Structure 1
């Protein structure tokens, strides 16, 4: 298909977006089912948090090199290849499961590959949106992308919870593979322009190592950008402690009830859909930095803190809804700032380093969260535990506290 016949602009973006909606649905179903399988096998939060760690670590640490490759290569092909690698990780697990040989460490290994692929996906997709759409559409595009994730968040837990019994983990992973192929086909048929070389791009040219380091130089030379990233650095570190133990907490407090977990996650995703729809039609606040800072405060109070003190499905669902409602506005405002401020031909490198700075503490928090929950906090919050009399009135006592 020649370039003139390929969909481009908003039409092309919508096609790519639809591919991502379908792919995210399949991936979300697999993540839900695998998380439930891990907790059934081990009964501990540690194994679940380590699975998250092995995905996040390469996703964050490979970011600078991935960003440099994104700026050097054809961004469309980078997106296709990274989606293929993520699909290979799922096929690897599917083949082991079909042979009745799947073990926990296999999931860790597959997550390493999927995380490495994700290191390329974020800068490539973010930079591609900049080239496909005009500046005034950035906020709406961020809202649509957030809406895609939230829509899959509603459907994936519901579908996975309903299908896990009838078709099992093998069936769910097979669906995931098909959705990957659909997303790759959507990328093949659209036109994604390459950026023109700018003065910033010429300054950052050099060896792969030099180009990987350029993203750091670009951000650290701009005080407003590094200040924004340091806020995300500290917030993400604290938030990951809660995120990593949410699934095992709910399962522990409900007797491994996957329907309850799916319900809480689906209600949260409804909040994400509402937030994403709001952002895609509104475009976000005029002063994007207000959307970031006020959003962080609201997520901390009405989602993280409320989830921690909650002891009922209603409170968990409310906290999940509030967090997912606010996050699209927060992240969409942040994304619009970066897309407007950074030259298109260096966005791969800069966005990758931006992600590294914001999320470098997340793998550490994830690795610590499970052992701390299993070995320190939960034992201390047993009815006769050391902290039960001090905090029991707030978060309860016993399993999952």
Structure 2
């Protein structure tokens, strides 16, 4: 139980760090959209943040499995602090340089990878299998909670201390997280002697995580499915700010809807943290994704603020549940000494594809769909999504929901994915190890 309390302390400090990061992201994101007036510039921030996993995921995975996981987490937090310093340098010049912003985002993406992989792998050694869904859900709660708190706090503080002050707060939260990590004990799995002494090629070790996933066919298929879903939803979800702004125009309504959006994700994570589902984890994932798909349709057609908020609230509820269940499956099925590399392989597969969602979505909205709204060809679908500004984004949202529903129906009939929990043996951890 002592290790469980230690994990909760880490979740709290990492959550504070996340709030600081979200405050910085809000300030920088609003500046980009206001100054550039383009969704493409806005969507390039998450693109650069996530694409780093493709190039550095393997290295991070090996480091997590070879280092003490505590050191990997400290390394990740310190590196993210460096990214915040780069943003501060840009702000200090009183002219936010867009290239320096993207450079800072890349740095933070690299070191976030180290911290997140180490934290997910450490959870296995600190939490019994029966509590993992709940703990993963509590971890998932920190992101939407930061999404609720950060807009309010950053909006209030921005007037008084400006972007420089917010970046300083962000930096301090990273340092607090590092200090806490120094004084806590995080257990590590036993590392085989031949792994330490192995002098085989670095490239071979980079492929261990991928090899494990490929051999576990159901787990690999589930990874591809979850990756595709993330590809489909990430870009469209980043359109909430420009979409609501174009169809409503009220910054107050926008702030309320953004708060409701994050509250939905928080409530979803809280549900899985409190209640024990009777469904298998895979069936829970399939059900959650289907609910989100339907809500994409509703959100894309809706125009009234109340319906926009309700649909987005329900859309977001299953997402942290899906992430928590997916992480639990990996933690249960993969030996702890390999989890750093397997989680890294999952991140590389996901981030090789998902970041393109931001680029593709931004390009389609700015260059094709929104300009097409005023054309005569648009009349054929205008009775569903309208022909006013924002209707191009509406089409993206509706199509996203339809495609996700079709793919989920197909996956529901693939036995190797649907029954992976029954067909793939669990990795047994001795009670003394936890």
State the TM-score, normalizing by the size of structure 1. 0.91
Aligned partner of 2:313 in structure 1 is: 321
Q: Distance in 2 between matches of 1:372 and 1:261?
A: 23
Select the residue among 176, 182, 191 that pairs with 1:188.
182
Aligned partner of 1:388 in structure 2 is: 378
Following superposition, the deviation at residue 252 of structure 1 comes to 3.3
RMSD of the TM alignment (CA)? 2.2
Q: Distance in 1 between matches of 2:194 and 2:262?
A: 39
- The answer to whether structure 1 residue 230 and structure 2 residue 224 are counterparts is yes
Select the residue among 285, 289, 295 that pairs with 1:296.
289
Name structure 1 gaps, 5 residues minimum. Answer: 1-6
| Contact 2:51–2:355 (CA under 8 A) maintained in structure 1 | yes
| Contact 2:57–2:113 (CA under 8 A) maintained in structure 1 | yes
Q: Distance in 2 between matches of 1:221 and 1:215?
A: 10
Evaluate the alpha carbon distance shift between residue 202 and residue 135 of structure 1 in structure 2; reply closer, same or farther with a 3 A threshold.
farther
Task: Tell me whether 344-353 or 231-240 shows the greater mean CA deviation.
Answer: 231-240
Structure-to-structure mapping, 1:240-279, within 5 angstroms: 240-255=234-249, 257-279=250-272
Select the residue among 97, 102, 106 that pairs with 1:108.
102
Select the residue among 315, 323, 337 that pairs with 2:329.
337
Aligned partner of 1:93 in structure 2 is: 87
- The answer to whether structure 1 residue 162 and structure 2 residue 152 are counterparts is no
Structure-to-structure mapping, 1:355-366, within 5 angstroms: 355-366=347-358
Q: Distance in 1 between matches of 2:302 and 2:198?
A: 49
| Contact 1:233–1:360 (CA under 8 A) maintained in structure 2 | no
- The answer to whether structure 1 residue 82 and structure 2 residue 81 are counterparts is no
Structure-to-structure mapping, 1:2-21, within 5 angstroms: 8-21=2-15
Following superposition, the deviation at residue 79 of structure 1 comes to 0.7
Following superposition, the deviation at residue 391 of structure 1 comes to 2.4
| Contact 1:64–1:356 (CA under 8 A) maintained in structure 2 | yes
| Contact 1:163–1:172 (CA under 8 A) maintained in structure 2 | yes
Count of aligned pairs: 391
Task: Tell me whether 319-328 or 66-75 shows the greater mean CA deviation.
Answer: 319-328
Task: Tell me whether 134-143 or 171-180 shows the greater mean CA deviation.
Answer: 171-180
Task: Tell me whether 335-344 or 7-16 shows the greater mean CA deviation.
Answer: 7-16
State the TM-score, normalizing by the size of structure 2. 0.84
Q: Distance in 1 between matches of 2:277 and 2:197?
A: 33
Name structure 2 gaps, 5 residues minimum. Answer: 392-434
Evaluate the alpha carbon distance shift between residue 364 and residue 399 of structure 1 in structure 2; reply closer, same or farther with a 3 A threshold.
same
Aligned partner of 2:304 in structure 1 is: 312
Following superposition, the deviation at residue 286 of structure 1 comes to 4.6
